[in-house]
Structures are given as C-alpha cells and as structure tokens.
C-alpha cells in the first residue's frame, strides 16, 4: 500500500472527483459510510456519541457521519467550532442534510464556556481538522483539543487523522494541541506520521478505510513510501520444485557469538535454518562448539582460532551469503575481523548488533560496505552511526540519506520497521507486536534475512520479506502465548506457520 504526503492525497481526491466522476459531496458520503460501518460494528445504540466538527471537509465528514448515526437511532450530539465564518461547500451541504433529515441541532461553540460536558463512557468523534493542516492548532480549536484530551473515561475516535497532527513532520508542532485518540480511521491510506513512535500517543490504534479513490490516480502518483502488506509478500516468496535439493537453497555463513553470548549465535542460526536455507555454517569461537552442536544440530560449525571471541574470518569462497553481528562483542580482534570481512566479502551481506557498533566506532569503514549490504540496527545502534535525531521524522531523513550515501539497505527496527534502499524508497512493515521486545528477537531476524539471501533473494526483497515473516511469526506466537510471555525462540518456532499463512493468504 502506498503512503502519500498530504498534498498528494488532496490531488488524488481531486482526480477522483474529476475523472470517476463523482461529486465531492458524494465522495464525502462514501467516507462517512465507511466511518459509520466501522463504528456501528463496534459500538451500540446505548452509547452516546459527541461529534466535534471543524469548518472544513473533515468537519463535513463528521456531520455526514452524525446524520447516519441519527438515522440509525444512535444517540448523537453535534458541536461546530465557530472560530471562523468560512465553511466548505460540502460542510454546508451536510449541515443542511443533518438538520432537515434528522432534526439534530448543530450547536455552535464560540468559547470555552460552551464546551459540552463529556461524561464517562462517551464516544467523542474528532472531526475538527484533517490531514491538510500545516499550522499548530491554536485559539479555540487548541482549547477544545486540550479539553477533549483532559476529559476522563471517554473514547476518542479521530476522522482521518487526529486533529492537530501533521501528515508528515511534526518536529515544530505543539504536542499539547493534538488530539490523543483511542482510534484513528484513516481514509484509503495511512499517513506517514502514523509510522513514527513519536505519534503513537496521538493516533492510538489506527485503521485504513477504503473510500474508492481512483485507481489510476493511485497507481500514477509516485511516492517513496509504502506500507508492506500480505499481498506484497505473496509474490516475493519462491515455490520449491520437486527435484530441488539442499544445494538449490544455498549455503549461508553466520559469524556470531562470544563467551557468554552464544545464545545470540544459536538464535540467529536457528532463524536461518528454519527459514529455508539449504545449509548454514556458524563461524564461532571455540567456547561455543558444544553449545551450538547441542542446541542446533541442523547447523554446521566452523571454529575460530580464539577460545572466547571471533578473531578472524574463514575462507568465504564456498558461501552464498554472509551474516554477522549477533553476540560477537567488540573485542579489538573481533573488530579487525569485521574489517577484514568488509575488505574481502563479495557475497550478499547482512550486518547486525555489535558488528554495527563496531562500524559506529570506525565510521571510515562504512565506505568499505559491499554494495547493497543490509544493516539491521535498532534505534540506538542507528544513532551511533548517524548521530542523535531530533525526532522520528528527522531519523527517517537520516536513514534515507545513509542508504543513498553508502549504497546499502537499512532495516531500522521498530513497531513499523522501516526498510530504506539506495534508491530512496522506504517500506514500512505491518506485522509484529510488543511481545517481540525481548532479547534475541533481532538475532532471529538477522538469521531469517541471511536465509533468504542464501536462497538467492534480491537484497531488498530479502529484507522486506524477512521483516514481514519475522513479524508474522511473532504475531502467531503472541496469539498462542501472550506478548508478555514470548521469548525469541517462540518466533523461530512459528516461522513455519507464518510461511503457511502467507501461502494461504491468511492474515
């Protein structure tokens, strides 16, 4: 699914109105019907809705929704924020329909003294501002937003975007004047700002509602951002042929482990063998030999000359792809070994964990990265490479620039893991859950990506599919266990079912 900037969404709306053709007020009717369908499926006629409508088309959506709620015998009150004399034409049309068809009176709010009482259990519909907002919400709208946020024991449902939130960069925004929604019902596409942890307290749980925007406009409008869904992954995964053998799926090398951190090596290798690689060899320090061969008999072992840490590299010629980082530590000899790897590797490469930290301590080595190397940092590891970001949007800009500068793929891990490629494209992931916030989860991801590289997947496809598969396996584990009780090996144990669900398109 594409993610567009706010201005692009406006242009797609206009194209739809002109070329479907459909009137703008009827397009608003579609949007309101989707809102009503979502709400009526989750709430009952005993609930009390309070609609706060701004003067623009977002407010018009709220008025149309209020009419549908009232006509279907839901209890609804409507309040219009009267901070300007201007009203959009579609707002006016829906205002007239609401009052003529339902008898619901729209009450004006001119000052704080006219704010309605919000009582426990009320459902507040936030239809004040849409995604086109470019300035901080001040004055009366800002005061209403603060009032809604400060009310206790209510649920807030935002129409399209939480009022006050910008569609992209909120670095200069006044966060005190942004609605804190429990649910956000976004039309047709998610907004870029929904991808950032900075804004989670505002969006709450968000859903995308289709409103039938023109397919030609969507396909013909270019964007660097997308949201990876099941339909994007199904065509990426390769089908096995009857006469394939283990040699058909490559031989991967995982360089990992150190004294006290052999678990990371086992988890990384486990993710790799469970994801379909033909063969996996683990280059590990001597202290890990018994651990690896006992914990994961499916993996082969290549022993480093050092007892406790990685001190050198094996012959790389027989391997299809290489992964490194899980549990290796930052010993000086290990750093020298990573340097040697960068100088000699001519195979697809995925770098994680302490290998990234070693690069951060030796940034001049970044120029040695083989083309389209995959790096899988979490936020702190990435900031060691690029410096501290002011906010999530700033970090995204840095990520895109880093991928372009060093011709690499960055998998920046998070709730919506972002995968940037050298061409400037960024793909946000849709799978995963907080139960995956546990030690070793990232090591499993490194192994999954290594496995896909080993099988011959294009590096971008390996990163995108690997992240999705990892998250889906985590979601399945959370369904069976609970987010609180999950451990990293639960992700490995559910990779098989994740493959099945993707094949069967069950998600």
The helix/strand count (H/E) of the chain reads as 18, 18
Residue 506's pLDDT is 66
* CB-based contact 67:98 (threshold 8 Å): yes
**Residue 140 is encoded by which pair of tokens?**
């009366």
Tell me the average confidence (pLDDT) per consecutive run of 10 residues in the chain, 507 residues long.
Answer: 98 98 98 98 98 98 98 98 96 97 96 96 98 94 98 97 98 97 98 98 98 98 98 95 97 98 98 98 98 98 98 97 98 98 97 98 98 98 98 98 98 98 98 98 98 98 98 98 98 98 83
pTM score: 0.97
496, 376, 381, 501: which is closest to 441 by C-alpha? 376
Kindly write down the DSSP assignment for every residue of 246-288, as one continuous string: GGGG-EEEEE---TT-HHHHHHHHHHHHHTT-SEEEEEE-GGG
**CB burial of residue 245 (10 Å; 0-12, 13-18, 19+):** exposed
- The full 3-state SS of 380-392, as one line of letters, equals HHHHHHHCCCCCH
The yes-or-no answer to whether 2-222 and 247-504 have a common fold is no
* CB-based contact 275:473 (threshold 8 Å): no
Architecture of the 2-222 domain: 3-Layer(aba) Sandwich (3.40)
The Cβ of residue 37 has, within 10 Å, a number of other Cβ atoms equal to 12
Residue 505's pLDDT is 82
Instruction: Enumerate the domain spans of the chain.
Output: 2-222, 247-504
Residue 72's pLDDT is 98
Q: What is the CA radius of gyration of the chain?
A: 26
Residue 86's pLDDT is 95
Angle, helix 379-386 to helix 353-361, in steps of 10 degrees? 20
SS3 330: coil
Tell me how far CA of residue 254 lies from CA of 104, 297, 344, in angstroms: 67, 15, 16
Tell me how far CA of residue 362 lies from CA of 276, 338, 355, 446, in angstroms: 34, 11, 11, 22
Superfamily of domain 247-504: Ribokinase (3.40.1190.20)
């Amino acid at each position: 699914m594409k993610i567009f900037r706010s201005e692009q969404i406006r242009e797609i709306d206009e194209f739809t109105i002109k070329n479907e053709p459909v009137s703008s007020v009827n397009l608003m009717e579609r949007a309101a019907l989707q809102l009503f369908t979502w709400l009526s499926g989750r709430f009952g006629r005993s609930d009390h809705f309070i609609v706060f409508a701004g003067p623009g088309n977002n407010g018009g959506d709220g008025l149309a929704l209020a009419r549908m709620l009232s006509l279907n015998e839901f209890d609804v009150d409507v309040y219009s924020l009267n901070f300007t004399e201007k009203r959009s034409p579609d707002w006016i049309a829906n205002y007239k329909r609401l009052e003529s068809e339902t008898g619901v009176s729209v009450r004006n709010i001119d000052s704080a003294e006219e704010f309605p009482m919000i009582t426990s259990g009320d459902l507040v519909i936030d239809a004040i501002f849409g995604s086109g907002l470019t300035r901080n919400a001040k004055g009366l709208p800002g005061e209403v937003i603060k009032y809604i946020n400060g009310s206790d024991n209510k649920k807030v449902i935002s129409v399209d975007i939480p009022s006050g939130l910008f569609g992209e960069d909120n670095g200069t925004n006044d966060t005190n004047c942004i609605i804190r929604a429990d649910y956000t019902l976004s039309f047709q596409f998610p907004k870029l700002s929904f991808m950032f942890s900075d804004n989670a307290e505002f969006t709450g749980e968000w859903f995308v509602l289709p409103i039938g925007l023109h397919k030609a406009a969507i396909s013909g409008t270019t964007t660097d951002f997308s949201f990876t869904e099941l339909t994007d992954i199904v065509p990426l995964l390769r089908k096995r042929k009857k006469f394939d053998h283990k040699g058909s799926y490559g031989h991967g090398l995982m360089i990992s482990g150190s004294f006290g951190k052999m678990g990371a090596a086992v988890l990384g290798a486990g993710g790799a063998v469970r994801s379909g690689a033909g063969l996996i060899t683990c280059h590990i320090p001597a202290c890990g030999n018994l651990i690896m061969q006992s914990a994961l008999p499916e993996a082969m072992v290549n022993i480093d000359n050092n007892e406790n840490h990685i001190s050198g590299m094996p012959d790389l010629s027989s391997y299809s792809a290489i992964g490194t980082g899980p549990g290796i530590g930052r010993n000086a000899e290990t750093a020298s070994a990573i340097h040697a790897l960068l100088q000699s590797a001519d195979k697809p490469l995925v770098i994680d964990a302490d290998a990234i930290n070693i690069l951060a301590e030796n940034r001049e080595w970044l120029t040695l990265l083989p083309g389209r190397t995959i790096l899988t940092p979490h936020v702190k590891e990435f900031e060691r490479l690029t410096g501290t970001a002011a906010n999530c949007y700033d970090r995204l800009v840095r990520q895109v620039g880093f991928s372009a500068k060093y011709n690499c793929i960055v998998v920046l891990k998070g709730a919506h893991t972002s995968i940037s490629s050298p061409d400037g494209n960024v793909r946000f992931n849709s799978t995963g859950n907080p139960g995956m916030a546990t030690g070793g989860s990232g090591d499993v991801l490194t192994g999954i990506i290594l496995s896909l590289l080993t099988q011959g997947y294009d590096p971008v496809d390996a990163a995108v599919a690997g992240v999705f598969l990892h998250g889906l396996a985590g979601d399945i584990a959370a369904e069976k266990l609970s987010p609180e009780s999950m451990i990293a090996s639960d992700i490995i144990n559910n990779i098989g079912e994740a493959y099945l669900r993707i094949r069967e398109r069950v998600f």
